[in-house]
Every structure is written in structure tokens, then in C-alpha cells.
């Protein structure tokens, strides 16, 4: 029973949730590869790069800059790739994720 207790504890820790989020971000690119246009896939790569960096244990200032630029590129080109009907306030909020990491640490 002790082994199961440890497994349950591990599954509820932030580290486990971090791994799940990182895997999800990386997996969706593989799944979508043949189902979306090259333009959309490349555009989603910018979002993925940014958030995989923001979900790391430790983030250097250089990595934070890369994440910020990637997410900003994604947001600033979102309307031209997906159309105005898919632009919402939530897309704009992505720009502020790097500020949150700068002030309080990794997103997880």
C-alpha cells in the first residue's frame, strides 16, 4: 500500500502537473501536423515554444526573452492566421504570461 500512496502523492504534485502540461504542448504539434495548414502549424509552434519555456523549473532571462518574443509573435499575428472571429481578449492575455513569470516565477 505504501507504493500506491507514493504514486498518488506524485500524481498530485506540481512537478507531475508540469510534465503533463509540457507533454500536452509538445504532443498537440505532432497530432495536428498533417491536419492543419503549414501556416497554422508554424504559428502554433510560436505559442508552444513560449509556453514550454514558461513551464520550466528555472527560467533564465534569455529564455524569458525568447518566450516573450514567441508569444508576442503568436498574438500579434493571430488575427491574420485565424481571422478576426477567433480574436478574443483571452488571446491578448497570453502576452501577460511572461510578466507573471518575471514577477512570480514559473507558471506551474
The answer to whether residue 7 sits within a structural domain is: no
Asked whether residue 5 carries a pLDDT value surpassing 80, the answer given is: no
Please give the residue range of the domain that contains residue 52: 20-104
Say how far apart CA 5 and CA 33 lie, in whole Å.
Answer: 38
Radius of gyration of the chain (CA): 16
The answer to whether residue 5 sits within a structural domain is: no
Q: What is the pLDDT of residues 16-74, one digit of tens each?
A: 666 777 777 778 777 778 888 889 888 888 998 998 899 888 899 999 999 999 999 99
The answer to whether residue 89 sits within a structural domain is: yes
Decide if 71 contacts 51 (C-beta within 8 A): yes
Which has more confidence, 2 or 70?
Answer: 70
Decide if 78 contacts 90 (C-beta within 8 A): no
Domain count, the chain: 1
The answer to whether residue 28 sits within a structural domain is: yes
For residue 17, which of 70, 74, 25 has the smallest C-alpha distance? 25
The answer to whether residue 52 sits within a structural domain is: yes
Decide if 74 contacts 43 (C-beta within 8 A): yes
The answer to whether residue 11 sits within a structural domain is: no
pTM: 0.74
The answer to whether residue 6 sits within a structural domain is: no
The answer to whether residue 15 sits within a structural domain is: no
Task: To the nearest 10°, report the CA torsion of 87, 95, 34, 20.
Answer: -120
Amino acid at each position: 500500500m505504501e507504493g500506491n500512496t507514493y504514486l498518488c502523492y506524485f500524481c498530485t504534485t506540481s512537478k507531475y502537473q508540469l510534465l503533463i502540461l509540457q507533454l500536452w504542448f509538445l504532443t498537440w504539434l505532432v497530432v495536428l501536423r498533417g491536419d492543419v495548414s503549414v501556416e497554422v502549424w508554424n504559428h502554433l509552434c510560436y505559442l508552444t515554444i513560449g509556453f514550454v519555456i514558461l513551464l520550466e523549473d528555472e527560467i533564465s532571462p534569455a529564455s524569458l526573452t525568447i518566450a516573450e518574443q514567441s508569444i508576442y509573435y503568436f498574438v500579434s499575428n493571430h488575427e491574420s492566421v485565424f481571422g478576426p472571429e477567433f480574436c478574443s481578449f483571452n488571446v491578448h492575455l497570453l502576452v501577460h504570461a511572461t510578466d507573471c513569470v518575471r514577477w512570480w516565477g514559473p507558471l506551474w
